[in-house]
Chains A and B, each alone.
Chain A
Amino acid sequence: MLDVRGLRKVYDGSGRRVEAVRDLTFTVDPGELVCLVGPSGCGKTTLLKCVAGLLEPTGGEVLLEGRRVDGPPPGMAFVFQEYGRSLFPWMRVGENVELPLRQKDLGKSERRALVRDALESVGLADAAGAYPWQLSGGMQQRVAIARALAYEPRVLLMDEPFAAVDAQTRGDLEDLVRRLWRQRGITILFVTHDIDEAVYLGERVIVLSASPTVVREQLTVDLPAGRDQLHTRVDPRFAGLRTRVYEQIQAAKRGNAADALTESSTPPPR
């Protein structure tokens, strides 16, 4: 579905070359929910923007369904961390969700139906007439997710979408993402710096190194598909996976490559 091959991104700014991403290779299969986690400042956002076609990679390539990405592709939607700045404050919630659909060749009634369906599935059916700034932060991010859903993407990219909401809301939103993923079969690539979130959400967790970024480890999350905040988080298996990712991140911060199990796709022993 999504192929990232040898991705490299170097920023050239005011005489200082910053290598944000060195060499990233991974794939995301159709219908998979993959979490990318790494120490803060490791170029996660850069990577995701390259995947989305919002940034031009310096080297390597990104393939969506075998086609090279060289601009935002139509089958992809992006959910930003800064929900307050991603929704347009001069448009009502319904208009915000409908806006991307206007670029598609859809009838008015079809658009309306998509908007209603998307808002319903994030639990905001009756907020269509409100302005985004009249809603709480968590609700605004739900609107941004609804906008992405209505667009009917095959791949959904999420860039630390819940970093700016409070912990309780975050739990609800995580369950929402799991539910939508299971219902709609979208492929999701989810970037986060929160280790618990990565393990709780993902079917697979890709651990990134510190910048310049490479893939440090890939971990299959063998937790049951039906997860909930109460039971999954106290599951010993959850704790084991969480510890594993935590160790990797700590090692990544120290810049220690010795204990990295690059490219291993096997989960640690139980």
Chain B
Amino acid sequence: MRRVLLRLVLACGLPAVLFTVWWVASAGSTDVYWPPLRTILTAFPDVWTADRLRGDVLPSVWRLAAGYALAAVAGVALGTLVGSHRRVRALCEPVLEFLRAVPPPVLVPVVMLFAGIGDTMKVVVIASGCVWPVLLNTVEGVRAVDPVMAETARSYGITGVARLRSLVLPSAGPQIFAGLRQALSIGIILMVISEMFAASNGLGFTVVQFQRGFAIPDMWTGILLLGMLGVVLSLVFRLVERRVLGWYHGLRASARRSP
């Protein structure tokens, strides 16, 4: 119990300090672009009404979820394919390195040309940015399957789909999740950017609208909300990861106890 409390204090300590510093430092501010935190917080409930949450936040989250899911499925599937076959890997690796090096935001204008400015464009942009860390990490994870485990599976006639399900994917799991984690932050960035380019709703769109309309405190509330969304998504991610990779954390803990 005390340990949980301590962890909570440690986790909340720095945010509380930063918040206080912001509050105090901005308290007497008359600068239009740096409104006092008090003004921002007062504006928050007025700006983010239920209507707005439904009309702007929900579409954004939906696009993010769709793009992210698409990237996860495609990344793991392609990564498994590339990672399992040496020839395919040799063929694809240079191309993958090139594609990964292209900054995803630059794809927005390109994707707009053929996918229009609707939801499809945003989902495609998010997916095309998120897919690389998932794909590359899956390739590495699948390559690194332990040879003894692979031989065990072979000697018991575990092949094909069963091998994939009981050996390859769980073994690559930790790496895949590392990729998914990177992809999540990329996804949030692309969600906002794609909505800034061309949209009629969404979080990114709303923030830009406020800024253009000189509703500066409202703009700041949007940024706060985005930060909070990021924190919540990362917490959810960690919960899922703890569940799926429980064995991995246990294994590592037991390896630390007896090297």
Contact = CB atoms under 8 A, between A and B. Distances in A.
Contacts of B251: 89, 131, 133
Contact of A72 (B157, B167, B247, B250): B157
Contacts of B157: 72, 74, 100, 103
Contacts of B93: none
Interface residues of A, number: 25
Given A74-B157, A78-B155, A100-B158, A85 B149 contact: yes
A76 to B, nearest CB: 7
A77 interface: yes
Given A82-B148, A85-B149, A88-B167, A103 B247 contact: no
A134 B149 contact: no
Interface string A52-94: 1110000000000000000010101110101001101111000
A124 interface: no
Nearest to A80: B148
A151 interface: yes
A131 B245 CA distance: 13
A151 B154 contact: no
Nearest to B158: A103
Interface string B184-221: 00000000000000000000000000000000000000
A99 B247 CA distance: 17
Contacts of A99: 156, 158, 166
B23 interface: no
A46 B167 CA distance: 24
B97 interface: no
Contacts of B149: 85-86, 88
B155 A72 contact: yes
A144 B250 CA distance: 20
A234 B151 CA distance: 39
A133 B166 CA distance: 17
A80 B250 CA distance: 23
A77 B153 CA distance: 11
A78 B247 CA distance: 25
A90 B171 CA distance: 8
B49 interface: no
A131 B166 contact: no
A108 interface: no
Contacts of B105: none
Given A85-B148, A103-B162, A131-B250, A77 B255 contact: no
Interface in A149-174: 151
B64 to A, nearest CB: 29
B13 to A, nearest CB: 34
B109 interface: no
A227 interface: no
Given A100-B156, A100-B157, A90 B151 contact: no
A102 interface: yes
B173 interface: yes
Contacts of A77: 155-156
B156 A151 contact: yes
A76 B247 contact: no
Contacts of B254: 133-134
A102 B166 CA distance: 11
Contacts of B146: 85
A131 B253 CA distance: 13
Contacts of B158: 99-100, 103
Nearest to A104: B157
Interface of A: 49, 52-54, 72, 74, 76-78, 80, 82, 85-86, 88-91, 99-100, 102-103, 131, 133-134, 151
8 contacts: A72-B157, A86-B152, A88-B149, A99-B156, A100-B157, A103-B157, A134-B250, A134-B254
Given A72-B156, A82-B148, A91-B247, 6 more contacts: A54-B155, A85-B146, A85-B148, A88-B166, A103-B156, A133-B254
Interface of B: 146, 148-149, 151-152, 154-158, 162, 166-167, 170-171, 173, 247-248, 250-251, 254-255
Ordered nearest first, which 4 A-B pairs have the shortest CB separation? A100-B156, A85-B148, A90-B170, A78-B155
